[in-house]
Structure 1
Amino acid sequence: MKNSRGAALLLVIWLLLLLAGLVVVFAFSARIESMQGSALRTRLAGQLAAEAGIEIAALRLSEADPTRRWFPDGRPNSFQYQGFQVDVRVLDESGKVADAALLADLMLALGVEELRARQLAGAIQDWRDSDDLLAIGGGAEDPDYAAAGLDYGAKDQPFNTVSELQQVLGMDADVYARLVPHVTVFTAAPRPLRDFAQLPVLQALGMSPADAALWIEARSAWQPGLPMPVSPEGGALAAAGSGTYSVASRAVRPDGLAVEVTTTVRIGAAAGFGQLYAPLAWRVGEPD
């Protein structure tokens, strides 16, 4: 009888321990899910704040009065929104390089060694053109890709996205990261507009570093509400952009949480009926 009671007591104790363990596991899981839910809500709030920056940029770029528009030369435009510091940079796509003929000079301006810059520019040209001839100064056609162990060759067609540059033979992550902010597939202009171009692009266009810096300084002195800026050559800079812009909007909370939305948008009549803008590319993530 005593043995039975002892066995029953042990069984009850084990059941209580099992139940206590289940409660602990359930409480821990609930805590983890609560933390995950809170993190997701916070991140979503940051994303929405960054997307608010895109909307504000579209409104400001659509202003009829040119002195009230944001000037699309990559300068920061900042404001507070729902507890986030939002920084928005807008760059007109017409200020970027689209023509392969300028790519070698652009890479030189970005600090790429000359021989490598010429070879990569040739490989990019061969990726785009339809012939099987190597570009002058070095390039890459199908046999070169095969020799490198790649199961694809030169595309022999224009680039659809800037990210395709990563597939070009000889391109590495470092050079690609330097090029991305300054090249575009959204314009076919043979030369970038100096009115909006960044320092490396201005140098690729043949300006000395000092002259390029003067252009940047002249633009940077302008603020909304003032007459349109004047170039160092004395002419007024463009009062309106091309209508196609890359926009980077970063939302940062006081605790350091940051979310960035980067997009390329088309604004105006080309956006389509009833739309303020049409997105051509869209990416959400943490800032690099």
Structure 2
Amino acid sequence: MRRPVRQRGVALLLVLWACTLLAILLGGYAVLARTQALQTRYQFAQTRAHYAAEAGVMRAIYAVEDPLPLRRWVGDGRVYPFRFDGAAVSVAVTDEGGKVDLNTATPEVLQRLFHAAGLDIAAANELAARVVAWRSFPRPGIELADDRAAYAAAGRDYGPRHGPFASLQELQLVLGMTPQLYRKIEPVITIWSGQAFPDPNTAPPLALAAIPGLDPQQLQALKAARERNSREAAPAIGGGITHSIRAEAVLADGTRAVIRATVRFQAGGMTAQPYRVLRWQEGDEE
């Protein structure tokens, strides 16, 4: 006995709906599988780039203390490129002694740094005074109240620490410090040198401009001497025990990783730890 035409049409529709649903499910699974494959590939590339950058940091730690002077890296900010596991790695080492120390720099050095970074003389003097007030121990009487009143008037719910800066980022809390100014001076400031003035032999250009008593002719002579040193095989400059290292690794597909570390070398015997990591940061953002 033949089925009615209507029943055959309903069955056909059910088959079509089932095929459509199956196609949607298969398509969804395909998209999911592709997404997971892309994520896995991205994570693998990021891991490769990260370890290549880490290799750059490790190589810099050894090269700064290389027993052979001809192979020793110099902490004046120059870039040392090499390849590692298919990645192009570039490493820059800066002696912390060439930077401006927030805790020990003289007010004049701070003022000259802020002025060289773009502030006018009056604003640079005011900001330098606030940095000194932040790091200085509490003062008696009305001066301490005035310090807190200035912050309160600016809408801040805190006042100066009246103690040494514990990190570079803490400088952003000082009244008058802007994000733009901080980004500009962050590469040339430190809390680890303990010096009143940057070392002119390793100071980056902005820190070099903060050194009092250097006229334009002396600055040009210093820059020329350092340029000559940069072309020599074993320049005899720099010798600090604390260095900042920036290592960047870029893969062929453009995947990029950056590691920034501050390392202090320590004297001792064979069993002593040769260095101590003071700061470790992945990426360029503060």
Matching residue within 64, 69, 79 for 2:72 = 69
Matching residue within 11, 14, 17 for 1:14 = 17
Counterpart CA distance in 2 for 1:274 and 1:4 is 88
Aligned counterpart, 2:116: 109
Q: Does 1:262 align with 2:265?
A: no
Larger radius of gyration between Structure 1 and Structure 2? 2
8 Å contact kept, 1:73–1:196: yes
**Which region of structure 1 is more displaced relative to structure 2, 62-71 or 258-267?**
62-71
**Which region of structure 1 is more displaced relative to structure 2, 188-197 or 159-168?**
188-197
Q: Does 1:93 align with 2:96?
A: yes
Q: Does 1:152 align with 2:150?
A: no
1:269-288 superposed Cα distances (whole Å, 9 cap, x missing partner): 27995544321111112689
Matching residue within 12, 28, 33 for 2:31 = 28
Relative distance call for 1:251 and 1:219 in structure 2 (3 A) is same
Counterpart CA distance in 2 for 1:193 and 1:112 is 23
Structure 2: which amino acid aligns with 1:95?
Answer: G
Aligned counterpart, 1:197: 203
Matching residue within 238, 246, 249 for 1:248 = 246
Query: 3-state DSSP class of the match of 1:260?
Result: strand
Counterpart CA distance in 1 for 2:269 and 2:217 is 38
1:222-262 superposed Cα distances (whole Å, 9 cap, x missing partner): 36984644xxxxxxx45xx2211000111123443322111
Query: 3-state DSSP class of the match of 1:186?
Result: coil
Q: Does 1:141 align with 2:139?
A: no
8 Å contact kept, 1:70–1:224: no
Structure 1: which amino acid aligns with 2:171?
Answer: L
Matching residue within 278, 282, 285 for 2:283 = 285
8 Å contact kept, 2:94–2:244: yes
Q: Alpha-carbon deviation of 1:160?
A: 0.8
1:41-92 superposed Cα distances (whole Å, 9 cap, x missing partner): 1121111111111111011112224343111111111112222221111001
Q: Alpha-carbon deviation of 1:95?
A: 0.9
Normalised by the size of structure 2, how large is the TM-score? 0.86
Counterpart CA distance in 1 for 2:234 and 2:34 is 57
8 Å contact kept, 2:268–2:274: no
Structure 2: which amino acid aligns with 1:130?
Answer: F
Counterpart CA distance in 2 for 1:209 and 1:226 is 28
Normalised by the size of structure 1, how large is the TM-score? 0.86
Structure 1: which amino acid aligns with 2:266?
Answer: G
Aligned counterpart, 1:234: none
Q: Does 1:162 align with 2:162?
A: no
8 Å contact kept, 2:260–2:284: no
Query: 3-state DSSP class of the match of 2:190?
Result: coil
Counterpart CA distance in 1 for 2:234 and 2:36 is 55
The percent identity for this pair of structures is 33
Relative distance call for 1:251 and 1:115 in structure 2 (3 A) is same
Relative distance call for 1:165 and 1:270 in structure 2 (3 A) is farther
Aligned counterpart, 2:181: 175
Q: Does 1:84 align with 2:83?
A: no
Structure 2 segments unaligned to the other structure (5+ residues): none
Relative distance call for 1:155 and 1:148 in structure 2 (3 A) is same
Relative distance call for 1:287 and 1:81 in structure 2 (3 A) is farther
Counterpart CA distance in 1 for 2:99 and 2:268 is 19
Relative distance call for 1:25 and 1:100 in structure 2 (3 A) is farther
Query: 3-state DSSP class of the match of 1:141?
Result: helix
Counterpart CA distance in 2 for 1:169 and 1:108 is 16
Q: Alpha-carbon deviation of 1:221?
A: 2.2
